[in-house]
């Protein structure tokens, strides 16, 4: 038997990164440093707040600083909206949040193709670049940013509160998000926060599923799908990602869920596998967050592709068993 599309035996030295957009620029942080991605909640503004932060947020029973890296890079800062995101990150000693316009993707960076900037110093916030689809992505040095926070090196005179949404509807939404965040994290501990159990959750129709981020190579769009003649209905086609052909699995058909059409903003989650070059088509990415020890879990016996049903953030999410999917005989084609 031959696999549909096998992976190369040679593997590059890679670094998995999350990259996000902010005012038409792109920035990346190592996924191992990411705790959670969320919609912007209401931020507090203590008196005598240092001018290198844009607010503070109670997260997992501690108060963390929220920053906009444009202040530290000398770039113009525009007004925020309820559409902004927060990327919560950690270093060895602290946590803080980065404001983003949107989270674009999770991508494996080939370390040999990372371009170090000339005269880069250890304390520079950006000291290397990576090219994705002809766009330069600035790789953030979180430890240098942490040091800048401690030293209060940014001397901006901008009135931070004037940048926040000030209409009553937006303020209500931001406060509801902050209340929800406080309720979901009030019983969590710092030990939980620094857990490595990170999951990407996504929708198939209205049902929420999750995959351990260790099983994900990257996330991309389903644009320019190439149909494959004479293949089962659970094979959507091929996409190309930086020269590689990726077989795209119609996950709805494969899991025997309601085979409705995918949404316009559908994504492809490319699986980290030594066997297949394969991606799962999903309706939309929901979030990236930790699955904590005190989440209620139970085994699901009526679907072999699902390991657990977990109550997380007041939602029920189904954890997929990636090994079971990749081992399934349906992903092999008999030679004629």
Q: What is the pLDDT of residue 156?
A: 63
CATH number 3.40.50.150 given to 14-193: no
Topology of the domain covering 197-333: OB fold (Dihydrolipoamide Acetyltransferase, E2P) (2.40.50)
Query: Distances in Å between the alpha carbon of 272 and those of 111, 153, 188, 279?
Result: 17, 40, 30, 9
User: CA 133, CA 202: separation in Å to the nearest integer?
Assistant: 24
- pLDDT category at 192 given cuts 50, 70, 90 is very low
* pTM for this model (two decimals): 0.68
Higher-scoring residue by pLDDT: 212, 4: 212
- Least Cα distance to 88 among 138, 45, 33 occurs for 33
- Least Cα distance to 50 among 206, 155, 177 occurs for 155
**Are the C-beta atoms of residues 136 and 26 closer than 8 Å to each other?**
yes
Q: What is the pLDDT of residue 189?
A: 45
Q: What is the pLDDT of residue 196?
A: 54
Distance of CA 180 to the CA centre of its chain: 20
Q: What is the pLDDT of residue 11?
A: 43
What values do phi and psi take at 117, rounded to 5? -75, 145
Beta bridge partners of 126: 140
**Are the C-beta atoms of residues 87 and 96 closer than 8 Å to each other?**
no
What's the mean pLDDT in 271-279? 85
Lowest mean pLDDT among 180-194, 260-274, 281-295: 180-194
CA atoms in the 13 A half-sphere facing the CB of 125 = 17
Higher-scoring residue by pLDDT: 50, 88: 88
Q: What is the pLDDT of residue 140?
A: 93
CA atoms in the 13 A half-sphere facing the CB of 26 = 18
What's the mean pLDDT in 265-270? 85
Higher-scoring residue by pLDDT: 252, 300: 252
What values do phi and psi take at 308, rounded to 5? -145, 155
Q: For the chain, which residues make up each domain, given as ranges?
A: 14-193, 197-333
CA atoms in the 13 A half-sphere facing the CB of 308 = 13
Higher-scoring residue by pLDDT: 73, 8: 73
In this predicted structure, the answer to whether residue 241 has a pLDDT above a threshold of 90 is no
Higher-scoring residue by pLDDT: 116, 151: 116
* Identity of the highest mean pLDDT range in 85-89, 182-186, 192-196: 85-89
- pLDDT category at 13 given cuts 50, 70, 90 is low
The arrangement of strands across the sheet holding 216-221 comes to 216-221, 267-271, 278-282, 244-250, 235-241
For 295-326, the pLDDT digits (tens) are: 546 655 566 788 888 776 667 888 888 888 88
Query: Distances in Å between the alpha carbon of 216 and those of 106, 188, 234, 266, 279?
Result: 8, 26, 20, 16, 9
Q: Which residue has the tokens 């303020």?
A: 171
Query: Is there a shared CATH topology between the 14-193 domain and the 197-333 domain?
Result: yes
* Identity of the highest mean pLDDT range in 191-195, 270-274, 314-318, 332-336: 270-274
For 70-91, the pLDDT digits (tens) are: 988 888 888 999 999 999 998 8
What's the mean pLDDT in 245-261? 84
In this predicted structure, the answer to whether residue 96 has a pLDDT above a threshold of 90 is yes
**Are the C-beta atoms of residues 56 and 66 closer than 8 Å to each other?**
yes
- pLDDT category at 154 given cuts 50, 70, 90 is low
Higher-scoring residue by pLDDT: 123, 132: 132
Q: What is the pLDDT of residue 51?
A: 67
Mean pLDDT across the chain: 80
């Amino acid at each position: 038997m031959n696999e549909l599309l096998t992976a190369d035996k040679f593997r590059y030295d890679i670094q998995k990164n999350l990259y996000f957009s902010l005012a038409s620029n792109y920035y990346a942080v190592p996924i191992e440093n990411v705790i959670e991605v969320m919609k912007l909640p209401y931020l507090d503004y203590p008196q005598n707040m240092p001018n290198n932060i844009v607010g503070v947020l109670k997260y997992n029973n501690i108060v963390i600083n929220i920053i906009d890296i444009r202040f530290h890079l000398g770039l113009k800062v525009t007004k925020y909206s309820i559409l902004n995101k927060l990327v919560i990150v950690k270093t060895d000693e602290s946590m803080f949040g980065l404001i983003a316009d949107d989270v674009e993707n999770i991508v494996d960076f080939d370390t040999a193709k990372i371009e170090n900037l000339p005269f880069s110093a250890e304390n520079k916030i950006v000291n290397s670049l990576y090219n994705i689809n002809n766009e330069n992505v600035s790789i953030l040095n979180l430890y240098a940013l942490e040091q800048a926070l401690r030293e209060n090196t940014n001397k901006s005179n901008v009135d931070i509160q004037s940048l926040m949404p000030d209409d009553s509807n937006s303020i209500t939404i931001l406060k509801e998000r902050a209340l929800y965040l406080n309720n979901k994290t009030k019983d969590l501990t710092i030990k939980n926060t620094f857990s490595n159990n990170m999951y990407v959750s996504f929708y198939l129709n209205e049902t929420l599923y999750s995959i351990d981020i260790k099983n994900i190579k990257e996330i991309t769009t389903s644009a320019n799908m190439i149909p494959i003649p004479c293949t089962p209905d659970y094979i959507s086609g091929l996409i190309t990602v930086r020269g590689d052909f990726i077989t795209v699995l119609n996950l709805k058909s494969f899991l025997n869920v309601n085979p409705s059409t995918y949404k316009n903003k559908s994504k492809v989650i490319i699986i980290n596998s030594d066997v297949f070059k394969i991606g799962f088509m999903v309706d939309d990415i929901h979030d990236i967050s930790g699955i904590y020890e005190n989440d209620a879990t139970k085994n699901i016996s009526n679907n072999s592709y699902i390991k657990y049903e977990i109550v997380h953030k007041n939602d029920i999410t189904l954890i997929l068993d990636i090994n079971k999917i990749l081992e399934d005989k349906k992903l092999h084609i008999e030679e004629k």
